Structure 1
Amino acid sequence: MDVRPKILSGRDRPAFKLPQHTQKAFECLNQMRKDHLLCDVVLVADNIEIPAHKAILSACSQYFYAMFTGEMTESKMDRITLQEIDPKALSLLIDFVYTSEIHVTEDNVQTLLPAANILQLTEVRDACCEFLQAQLHPSNSLGIQDFADIHACTELMHYAQMYTEQHFTETVHYDEYLSLSETQVAKLISSDRLTVTSEEQVFEAVMSWVQHNLMSRQDLIETLMEHVRLPLMSQEYLVQRVEEEPLFKTNSRCKDFLIEAMKYHLLKHEQKITFKTPRTQPRNPIGLPKVLLVIGGQAPKAIRSVECYDFQEERWFQLAEMPTRRCRCGVAVHSSLVYAVGGFNGSLRVRTVEVYDPQKDAWTTCPSMEARRSTLGVAVLNGCIYAVGGFDGSTGLDSAEYFDIRMGEWRMMSPMSTRRSSVGVGIVGGYLFAVGGYDGASRQCLSSVECYNTLRDMWTPVADMSCRRSGAGVGVVDDMLYAVGGHDGPLVRKSVEVYHAEMNTWRQVAEMHLCRRNAGIVSHGGKLYVVGGDDGSSNLGSVEVYDPKTNTWTLLSSSMMTGRSYAGVAVIDKPIL
């Protein structure tokens, strides 16, 4: 008797598939491995023995596939010793083969990556590279670059190299740089892609390396100075620092480099164009992927919000809020950390400083300033953070101070010639410029500008702007200092002017689309970004971009999520979160 059910035609269904089948099978295989069931090979590294299944190893690793399916002697062996592989790394990697999971840490990455390379477990190698890339810091980027080069991780090597070049001024303060060979230093400082605000920083980096081991390195200075672009330094620095350097006075070739630089400064502008040597060529840094941070601000009260604009993806998103409300602060970037300095918390002007770590998306604190300051100007010069002017709650300030990051302390410096709250600052040619602001004593918005020389601890007046500007945005592109918008009493400006330091002159450039004061301003990719601010009646969420090459302004396609004035802004490497 046929008891099979009748199957109706035309009612076929898709094939049955169990999504968890592979995972369950591998869980079972892993347990069999642990129980030494049906294992046909034992892997040996030092004193560790790991039983496994040849078929599983071959399916997950081209290294083992070639070993067990080819003509190699090991294909017939049931016990294989693996040379030059760390035993703990091997154990982790075999666990990964069976579980698809591995935890990369600071303790194991340096043994895990080479082992993964040997066994051709490319996914683990890539995970190690991503981990190291996220760990990049000025103190370790040279070491990571060298490590990546040794193990043929080309993408990580190039990324670490770009990181080092972009963070050159911080990198040179650490032991990895001071321990480089002469050839390695020469290769680094000869790069056109070094990100430096002035060539003086390259000179000081070379002198620091030489002084670190003076007896054995002093004769190498002439070889290194061939790659330092002395003609691009200020004439004052050449005379006061370079010419007075004892190692220069005793080295004829270094003297020749100095003469070349001084001769270059004596040439007229049109002559400089034709006077070309490797040392007169400006550096042209290529940056890592960047994002724009907008920190705190007034909307309409002080806020904690931090927004981020991704230049590649052209979108805004939120980051970790500041621990406290803060507007009218200054913002500085050093060693991949972002410092929010001073400001107003909604009730008090503050001395405090909060520090943002992009890789952790977290805020911490660091030592407070000597004075309470809001609407101050902040800039980074020679590895120090300068805080200039501002308002302490009762009066405008002519005082200024700087934060020595390595020492972790603030120090006072010479005061300016006048009180300046709502002041803008910028760095050009190794000098700090304080632009405009408001003088509470005379109750006037200011057109005056003064320049600070760190070597002399002295402020010097330079040419006035064409009009009074308080709350102007001040930014630097290609060693040109821009004063953007601001106000003179009730009049909010959209005009813009630019300062040429060598000529000591200001000239007008194209106006913005909108009147703005108290906007954030930052340079990126040879352009100037002006963020938010207010027009005298309401806060703005829009961002305008100035291109000096075309003398035109464009509005960014998307505005901030929160319109705000008195925000701090910065451009940083795109964090890996």
Structure 2
Amino acid sequence: MATGGNTETVRRSLDHSFHANTVLCALNEQRIQEKFCDVVLEVEGRKIPAHRNVLAACSPYFDAMFGGNLAESRSSQVTLTEVSPEAVSKVIEYMYKGQVQVDPKHAEELLHVSDLFLITELKLECQDILQNMLDSNDAVQCLRIRNLAKIYNMTTLEEKAMTFVRQNFSEIAKREDILQTSIEDMRTLLSDDHLQVESEESILELILRWIQSDKTNREQYLTELVKLVRYGDVNKDFLSKVRMEDLVRESEECQLLIDDIMSKFRTELEAIPGMKTRGGRLKEVLMMAGGYLTSAAVRFPIQYSQAYVIEEGKWMGLPRLPSAQGAYGIAACHRQAYSVGGLFARPVGSRTTAIVSSVKAYRYDSLSNTWTQVADMNAPRAYPGVAACGGYVYAIGGLSSGGLHRNNTVERYSPKEDQWQHVASMNSARFSVATVVKDDRYIYCISGKETAVTTSQSVEVYDTETNRWRCLPRAPITFEEVPFAEVHPGDGMIHVYSIGQSECVFDPKSELWTVVSDGPIPHLPDSSVRRKAAVHVEKGVIHVWGGHDRNNSNTIYSNGFVYRDGTWTAMNAGGIATMSAAFCKLKLPVEFLRGLHGKQ
């Protein structure tokens, strides 16, 4: 017994955070062994024993059931209907363990039970699983997920599912399983102004296919669905063929509708509510972002981004780059454009600036019409060759040290990981190299610049699967400027073009060159000889815009030309006067292009 002095009572705090988990584990073992269970859930004849207090603690549904005056509050057995015993067992397992394995095949059943039992965390997990199941190769599943989200009031999933369907509808509409779609879904889809389609004719074709697949039950909907087509964007010749379809000829109402439409001019149809071009109508564009302007003999990069709508010959504005960029390379990968590298002016002191090669890369998302910055490259590059192959983006060669030193290094960007990684280097160091991709495996690098005035004749091929470069026979002519190249879909050969010189063709199989005997590609109509212009070539059609005069770098052009069938014609005005920019072909919905003329 302590005597004298002051005594203090020492208190300790006992905190075993794992204790709650231990108790739940013990309760789960008791459930499995059916010890101390005081309620049985009966589902389709199967009995699932459990503890009332656990169910009520985890589920507001059971808390209300057992704590109220319902008959179940006094009964030792509860019968559940319109649910599967497997899904109920999974949810009960989650209540006791806080974890459960969810098979995507049963995600819908689990969603139904977790919604019934009001278990929010599990419902959100099911939402994530369903979102990951969105796939343009399964049209019915996409629409079913969207409908499930609507039923269970999952607004985020509903919006994402509908956005996914809209953005991938061109592919979804080609699939056979789209024919299983209900009339309710068909109404919803065809009424949607944001539905992304390559042509409105494809909507008419889908309607006819859908009805023909179950004519007896669906022909009653023909006129209703045909009225949802945006006829301001339908070719009259195509419409004449549709009118001769048996389905249409058998419907007097539908025939009269089409006759009335064919009697109107396109401008009249565009003025009719519901017939104006769909906002999601996809147009092929040549996107040009950034570049350089000159003011008072000072050259500076710009942020402007524009699109040249090929079908209409119009320039339209797009969102600006996150920062000014010129002397970059660009390529399209999975409906996104990647603008890589470049030169920029970095302040040094109060009055001077240093021209520095950039490690920056930006991504334009054609689905959201936005630019974002992605991971920096490992090495700075100006005028790099850029190619998209196998789901990756490659940055090849370029200039470093403020545009003073050419290099032969190559790195690869993974969109999934947002990371650049060095791969094997080219054999020769170059910048502004012309790149083409064959069979989504091989990257051919043709010509390029060795110095500001010396054009390379080197040709190499990179095998993305073996990570090896190999030198190929040099081009048969000496290029005056860096050429541009394509794999022509007509013959699978690599066609190389240079203004004022003969076209060359490389056979990847025999690795032999031939020179086309039709004579040189004519010079531009204004007799200009341009460097660092934005160029795009496809199926022998060449678009050239901007660039600077070879003899006067301060003269930057604000016009362009198109070469087709041996003749140059002027591109419509409206584009920015720029040099050291590049073209990238994308498909953009009309709603991204409306009312955006000129600089943005």
**TM-score with structure 1 setting the length:** 0.58
Cα shift readout 1:250-280 (whole Å, capped 9, x = no counterpart): 544444444444444365xxx677x42422x
Deviation at 1:181, TM superposition (A): 3.6
Deviation at 1:58, TM superposition (A): 0.8
Deviation at 1:136, TM superposition (A): 0.5
Aligned-partner Cα distance in 2 for 1:263–1:446: 45
Aligned-partner Cα distance in 1 for 2:247–2:396: 51
Deviation at 1:105, TM superposition (A): 1.9
Contact 1:142 1:176 survives alignment (8 Å): no
Deviation at 1:49, TM superposition (A): 3.4
Deviation at 1:178, TM superposition (A): 0.3
Match of 2:202, as an amino acid? Answer: Q
Larger radius of gyration: 2
Alignment match, 1:49: 47
Distance 1:229 1:317, change over 3 A: same
Aligned-partner Cα distance in 1 for 2:16–2:5: 25
Aligned-partner Cα distance in 2 for 1:465–1:17: 85
Aligned-partner Cα distance in 1 for 2:148–2:203: 25
Distance 1:122 1:251, change over 3 A: same
Match of 2:573, as an amino acid? Answer: Q
Deviation at 1:483, TM superposition (A): 6.9
Contact 2:279 2:590 survives alignment (8 Å): no
Match of 1:223, as an amino acid? Answer: E
Does residue 278 (structure 1) correspond to residue 274 (structure 2)? The answer is yes
Cα shift readout 1:426-477 (whole Å, capped 9, x = no counterpart): xxxxxxxxxxxxx9976658769xxxxxxxxxxxxxxx999979873669xx
Aligned-partner Cα distance in 1 for 2:518–2:18: 76
Deviation at 1:182, TM superposition (A): 3.8
Distance 1:12 1:215, change over 3 A: closer
Map 1:322-361 → 2, pairs under 5 A: 328-329=386-387
Match of 1:30, as an amino acid? Answer: N
The match for 1:472 among 534, 537, 557 is 534
Match of 1:118, as an amino acid? Answer: L
Map 1:408-487 → 2, pairs under 5 A: 412=490, 472=534, 485=546
Contact 2:531 2:550 survives alignment (8 Å): no
Aligned-partner Cα distance in 1 for 2:130–2:576: 45
Aligned-partner Cα distance in 1 for 2:473–2:213: 42
Contact 1:42 1:49 survives alignment (8 Å): yes
Paired residue secondary structure (2:580): coil
Alignment match, 1:119: 117
Match of 2:574, as an amino acid? Answer: V
Contact 1:294 1:306 survives alignment (8 Å): no
Deviation at 1:248, TM superposition (A): 4.2
Alignment match, 2:439: 368
Distance 1:276 1:469, change over 3 A: farther
Paired residue secondary structure (1:58): helix
Deviation at 1:174, TM superposition (A): 2.7
Deviation at 1:60, TM superposition (A): 0.8
Distance 1:415 1:213, change over 3 A: farther
Alignment match, 2:179: 178
Alignment match, 2:598: 551
Does residue 400 (structure 1) correspond to residue 488 (structure 2)? The answer is yes
Aligned-partner Cα distance in 1 for 2:527–2:40: 79
Contact 1:142 1:160 survives alignment (8 Å): yes
Deviation at 1:114, TM superposition (A): 1.1
Distance 1:115 1:255, change over 3 A: same
Paired residue secondary structure (1:107): helix
Deviation at 1:124, TM superposition (A): 1.1
Match of 1:508, as an amino acid? Answer: A
Alignment match, 2:210: 209
Match of 2:160, as an amino acid? Answer: Y
Map 1:553-572 → 2, pairs under 5 A: 553=600
Map 1:57-68 → 2, pairs under 5 A: 57-68=55-66
Alignment match, 2:574: 509
Alignment match, 1:165: 166
Alignment match, 2:36: 38
Aligned-partner Cα distance in 1 for 2:56–2:581: 66
Unaligned runs of 5+ in 2: 283-333, 344-359, 379-383, 398-411, 420-436, 447-471, 477-483, 500-515, 563-568
Cα shift readout 1:486-512 (whole Å, capped 9, x = no counterpart): 67879796746699xxxx984322526
Q: CA RMSD in A?
A: 5.6
Q: Which has the higher strand share?
A: 2
Contact 1:445 1:469 survives alignment (8 Å): no
Distance 1:519 1:116, change over 3 A: same
The match for 1:95 among 93, 96, 104 is 93
Aligned-partner Cα distance in 2 for 1:547–1:224: 26
Contact 2:31 2:50 survives alignment (8 Å): yes
Cα shift readout 1:30-84 (whole Å, capped 9, x = no counterpart): 3333344433223333454333221121111011101111111222223333233
Contact 1:43 1:51 survives alignment (8 Å): yes
Contact 1:496 1:510 survives alignment (8 Å): yes
Aligned-partner Cα distance in 1 for 2:548–2:475: 21
Deviation at 1:244, TM superposition (A): 5.3
Does residue 29 (structure 1) correspond to residue 27 (structure 2)? The answer is yes
Q: What count of residue pairs does the alignment treat as equivalent?
A: 435
> Equivalent pairs: percent with the same residue?
22
Alignment match, 2:504: none
Alignment match, 1:560: none
**TM-score with structure 2 setting the length:** 0.56
Distance 1:150 1:358, change over 3 A: farther
Does residue 194 (structure 1) correspond to residue 195 (structure 2)? The answer is yes
Distance 1:66 1:372, change over 3 A: closer
Deviation at 1:131, TM superposition (A): 0.7
Paired residue secondary structure (1:77): coil
Distance 1:357 1:372, change over 3 A: closer
Paired residue secondary structure (1:49): strand
Contact 1:141 1:164 survives alignment (8 Å): yes
